Amino acid sequence: MTSARVDEKTLESFMEASLDAYQRAAEAIAPQQTWVDLGGIPVGVETAGESLHPRITRMLLRSSQRPFQTDARILAFDVARTRILPPRPPWGEDTRGFAAGVRGLPEDRFLAEFHADPETFAVYDRGRRVSVYWSRYADGLYRSLESAPLRAQMRWMGMDRGLHLMHAAAVGRGGDGLLLMGAGGAGKSTTAFAAMLAGMEFVSDDFCVLRCEPDGSTTVMPLVTIGRATENTMRLLPGLAERVVNRGAPADHKAEIELADVITPALTVRALGVPVQDRVPGAPRPLPTGTFVRKVLLGTMSSYPGMADVSFRFLARLAGGLPCFELPVGPDLADVEDLIDGALSMTARVPA
């Protein structure tokens, strides 16, 4: 069985029709605009439909750069408010890839993802650096906005500028950072929040942006200013309560944690870790690169639509160049600070 392929000309026509649909939506409802920060690059988010705009932008880090420097745009609309339908897509069977990415596209030019529940769709033209994002109902978007709104588009736009969106928490000390990786539920956020409350430097609890530097090092930067915590995490870390911004939310929603005042703008990644919940806390356990990659592969690749090969190779390069650890986190989280300091101290440093 081979994947269906869609030719570039067909995708160009589809992109034009998508842009035209957005234009009609923007004529129906005056668009709102926000500039968000993607690893130091401003990305313009323009939305036709006033209820959609805050939902897709409120968690994202704002750009301090001036609008005219924006080099990538996301154009978003929802049908419920604008009554404008997007065009019919040119792909069919056998199209679903990792994380709802659409397979079979000429990925050097176009990328797309689709979610059926809630109904959202994004297509990105890499040549023009513009993405069209569509949702049927803005009010039903909560699930698709968990963790990192617009993360497909942010990842695609970042890749073209040497940035990689990573499903990882990031904390550290003195400018040195540790990436906490693993599948959802592994304990990334809880470990990162515990480190933050202990006074460590904090970049992210779930998704972050990585940049490869000319000297071979990797810098980690934040993407969002609001983190998310489960009921269990809130019970374990009562110090988070004062930061909750969605009190009164439905029971199945995670607590949203305000982080803007504690976020560190950048850390140099010195080590990678995968937390494991242990009855007895212990020291960081070094892992062979291959073992580490296999432990985190699911949580990493299932988060990124499109260009899965690039994600895999980036993860391999990252893990191949840094010490990797399993971090046995004890039940009361009291050991987290020592555990992270321990991993960072075991890092082989290159003399300046």
Do 325 and 341 touch, CB atoms closer than 8 A? no
> Which amino acid would we find at residue 150?
L
Amino acid, single-letter form, for residue 76: A
Closest CA to 168 of 176, 177, 159, 156: 177
As a whole number of Å, the end-to-end CA separation of the chain is: 52
Q: How far is the CB of 112 from another protein (least distance, A)?
A: 11
Angle at 54 between CA 51 and CA 57, to 5 degrees: 140
Nearest residue (CB) to another protein, 184 versus 281 = 184
Question: Closer CB to another protein, residue 5 or residue 235?
Answer: 5
CA distance 81 to 70: 27
Distance in Å, CB of 312 to another protein, minimum: 6
Distance from C-alpha of 174 to C-alpha of 160, rounded to nearest angstrom: 30
Q: Least CB distance from residue 37 to another protein, whole Å? A: 30
Q: What is the β-pairing status of strands 72-78 and 41-48? A: parallel
Least spacing, CB of residue 285 vs another protein, in Å: 17
Q: What are φ and ψ of residue 245, in 5° steps?
A: -110, -5
Shortest CB 152 distance to another protein, Å: 15
Q: What is the DSSP letter of 238?
A: G
DSSP 37: E
Burial category of 56 from C-beta neighbours within 10 Å (exposed 0-12, middle 13-18, buried 19 and up): buried
When the beta carbons of 97 and 227 are compared against another protein, the nearer one is 97
In the complex, least distance from residue 302 CB atom to another protein, rounded to whole angstroms = 5
Compare residues 136 and 285 and give the one whose CB is closer to another protein: 136
Least separation, in Å, of the C-beta of 313 and another protein? 7
DSSP readout, 155-218?
Answer: HHHHHTTTEEEEE-EEEEETTEEEEE--STTSSHHHHHHHHHHTT-EEEESSEEEEEE-TTS-E
For residue 241, give Cα distances in angstroms to 185, 204, 234, 285: 20, 18, 7, 32
Least Å from the CB of residue 88 to another protein: 5
Contacts with another protein by CB under 8 A lie at: 1, 3, 79, 85-86, 88-89, 92-93, 95-98, 103, 114-117, 119, 121, 136, 183, 288-290, 293-294, 297-298, 301-302, 308-309, 312-313, 316, 319-320
Nearer to another protein, 265 or 320 (CB): 320
Query: Do residues 119 and 67 touch, judged by C-beta distance below 8 A?
Result: no
Question: CA-CA distance, 143 to 149, in Å (whole number)?
Answer: 10
Q: Which is nearer to another protein, 34 or 311 (CB)?
A: 311
Of 175 and 320, which has the nearer Cβ to another protein? 320
Q: How far is the CB of 70 from another protein (least distance, A)?
A: 29
Q: Which is nearer to another protein, 253 or 317 (CB)?
A: 317
Q: Which is nearer to another protein, 94 or 332 (CB)?
A: 94
